[in-house]
A and B are shown apart, each in its own frame.
Chain A
């Protein structure tokens, strides 16, 4: 456990070094958030009655999504890891007395946390200063805020374990770019990255909420503004834990299988 924690720490402090990149990221994400808010405003002004959430809850969703993008964006793959599988550097890792899956998992989490830590606060701060319906509003109540933090951590873990599964697939294909793109775009869509899940038709939404993708950003971002009932919340939490366990178990098994079959070419 201790060695995985030091992997985590090393990667975390490395992630904190890229401050200029973070500044550029903040500007980009803030603009994307603003455009998203403007688009939702246009829909709201056209037909307010068809809106499934209040405008302020929607805007809060958008801002939190942009602030915590680094935690949940499936496209934020660990390239170092993929490269090591492709160019064969993984052979070194295999010699070490560690479990590869656990090491990558802790590194991935550290990477995302460090990125989010640098980027989220400025975005949250600016968004909170925006005028009422368009900015980031306060959480529904302190209890919801605690739940938000809990589901945020669970959501991050589900996202990382899903991405790990996609990474591990690189063991079996030499050029993982295409597969990766297919999985990533599906994950982004089903997780509510393009439009929030409540905006889907009721039946579609019901099925989408059962998928592992709904356990990623969807739960914390909606819990924050209190737009989930208690029953929905209990179900969402249960699903998050279930999917996390399943994805972790699946990823580890596949990783072990991959390690056994692996042939390192080149020298």
Chain B
């Protein structure tokens, strides 16, 4: 019997603490989440369909607006679609993988973060692994469809530079949105509940990121360049894609937004240090 139990512990996945094993643990979390989501298949597909429809309706809004207007501040329908689809892709990816942060307030309030802290693993990894919102696949598919439609319509001459720009945009944008989710979670250490106005930075950015940020005026562009760098993953590289600007500089600009993760992570560390359990 005793022998048996020892064997079991040895066979548990992801035993050692290293980056490779952390990754292994992460995929293990992922597979648990997939399996639990698949237990309720009809609910999963209906929710995914719901997600699809939510952003599909926003797309219809753009479609009908552009039947009335030929362009907005020089951006045509297909260019706006391309812009919106990239933002939506970034957002859905971030939401799928960083959803744990979104529900973090619940973890703090119920005190289950205590359990995370006593485990000998990185707490960030555990919170990330606590929830994957796979139903966002619906939104992701919608964004992909729009993305290809936008590409076909906008007659962009694709050069290697532009393809790399799109990849960097997706990477930078996913990091940026994940950073905002992390910020949201970190604030929960101090407020105990999720702050509704943080919606502006997440859902608001997704919703109003459908148009290139310059149309909202100069000040909004400055704010989204220097404070929360949405424009780095949306407006400036888009100009490069559409041949409105030239320069290798624009290709690498989206990567700068990864820097936004640093202050968010520092706030998280600070929050973990200040954490006093609230649960019972």
Residue of A nearest to B51 (CB): A181
Do B61 and A189 touch across chains, with their CB atoms under 8 A apart? yes
* Chain A nearest CB, measured from B263 CB (Å): 21
- CB within 8 Å of B: which A203-220 residues: 204
Do B200 and A46 touch across chains, with their CB atoms under 8 A apart? no
Q: Interface residues of A, CB < 8 Å — how many? A: 36
- CB within 8 Å of A: which B224-258 residues: none
Do B72 and A38 touch across chains, with their CB atoms under 8 A apart? no
A178 within 8 A of B: yes
Which of B40-48, B94-102, B104-112 contacts its partner?
B40-48
Q: Contacts A28-B199, A38-B217, A204-B64: A178 and B208 contacting too (C-beta < 8 A)?
A: no
A39 within 8 A of B: yes
B42, B49, B53, B196 pick with most chain A CB within 10 angstroms: B196
Do B67 and A201 touch across chains, with their CB atoms under 8 A apart? yes
A195 within 8 A of B: yes
B158 within 8 A of A: no
Residues of B within 8 Å of A200, CB to CB, are 64
* Chain A nearest CB, measured from B89 CB (Å): 19
Do B61 and A35 touch across chains, with their CB atoms under 8 A apart? no
* Chain B nearest CB, measured from A160 CB (Å): 21
Do A38 and B69 touch across chains, with their CB atoms under 8 A apart? no
Residue in contact with A24 in the complex, picked from B196, B204, B220, CB distance below 8 Å:
B196
C-alpha gap A35/B211 in the complex (Å): 11
Do B43 and A175 touch across chains, with their CB atoms under 8 A apart? yes
Q: Contacts A28-B200, A177-B47, A185-B50: A42 and B215 contacting too (C-beta < 8 A)?
A: yes
A257 within 8 A of B: no
B57 within 8 A of A: yes
Do A35 and B208 touch across chains, with their CB atoms under 8 A apart? yes
Do B54 and A39 touch across chains, with their CB atoms under 8 A apart? no
Residues of A within 8 Å of B196, CB to CB, are 21, 24-25, 28
Do B197 and A182 touch across chains, with their CB atoms under 8 A apart? no
Residue in contact with A27 in the complex, picked from B49, B71, B197, CB distance below 8 Å:
B197
C-alpha gap A38/B217 in the complex (Å): 8
- CB within 8 Å of B: which A74-113 residues: none
A150 within 8 A of B: no
* Chain B nearest CB, measured from A69 CB (Å): 12
Interface of chain A, helix or strand or loop or mixed? helix
Contact-residue bracket for chain B: 35 or more
Residue of A nearest to B201 (CB): A31
B65 within 8 A of A: yes
Do A178 and B71 touch across chains, with their CB atoms under 8 A apart? no
Do A182 and B69 touch across chains, with their CB atoms under 8 A apart? no
C-alpha gap A186/B50 in the complex (Å): 9
B70 within 8 A of A: yes
B145 within 8 A of A: no
Q: Mark A40-70, 1 if CB is under 8 A from B, else 0.
A: 0111011100101000000000000000000
Q: Contacts A175-B40, A181-B54, A189-B60: A195 and B65 contacting too (C-beta < 8 A)?
A: yes
C-alpha gap A128/B255 in the complex (Å): 42
Do A178 and B50 touch across chains, with their CB atoms under 8 A apart? yes
A172 within 8 A of B: no
Do A201 and B68 touch across chains, with their CB atoms under 8 A apart? yes
Do A181 and B64 touch across chains, with their CB atoms under 8 A apart? no
B195 within 8 A of A: yes
C-alpha gap A201/B51 in the complex (Å): 26
Do B69 and A39 touch across chains, with their CB atoms under 8 A apart? no
Q: Contacts A28-B197, A188-B57: A43 and B65 contacting too (C-beta < 8 A)?
A: yes
B149 within 8 A of A: no
Q: Mark B116-158, 1 if CB is under 8 A from A, else 0.
A: 0000000000000000000000000000000000000000000
Residues of A within 8 Å of B197, CB to CB, are 24, 27-28, 31
Do A178 and B216 touch across chains, with their CB atoms under 8 A apart? no
Residue in contact with A32 in the complex, picked from B42, B74, B200, CB distance below 8 Å:
B200
B10 within 8 A of A: no
B58 within 8 A of A: yes
Residues of B within 8 Å of A180, CB to CB, are 50
Residue in contact with A35 in the complex, picked from B72, B73, B204, CB distance below 8 Å:
B204
A228 within 8 A of B: no
Do B47 and A178 touch across chains, with their CB atoms under 8 A apart? yes
Do A32 and B204 touch across chains, with their CB atoms under 8 A apart? yes
A179 within 8 A of B: yes
Do B73 and A45 touch across chains, with their CB atoms under 8 A apart? yes
- CB within 8 Å of B: which A142-184 residues: 174-175, 177-182
Do A199 and B64 touch across chains, with their CB atoms under 8 A apart? yes
Residue of B nearest to A21 (CB): B196
C-alpha gap A38/B211 in the complex (Å): 11
Residue of B nearest to A28 (CB): B197
Identify the 5 closest CB pairs spanning chains A and B, nearest first: A178-B46, A181-B50, A175-B43, A42-B215, A189-B57
Task: Provide a sorted-by-A list of 24 A–B residue pairs whose CB atoms are within 8 angstroms.
Answer: A24-B195, A24-B196, A28-B196, A28-B197, A28-B200, A39-B208, A39-B215, A42-B215, A46-B69, A46-B71, A47-B70, A177-B46, A178-B42, A178-B43, A178-B45, A178-B47, A181-B47, A181-B50, A181-B53, A185-B54, A185-B57, A189-B57, A201-B67, A201-B68
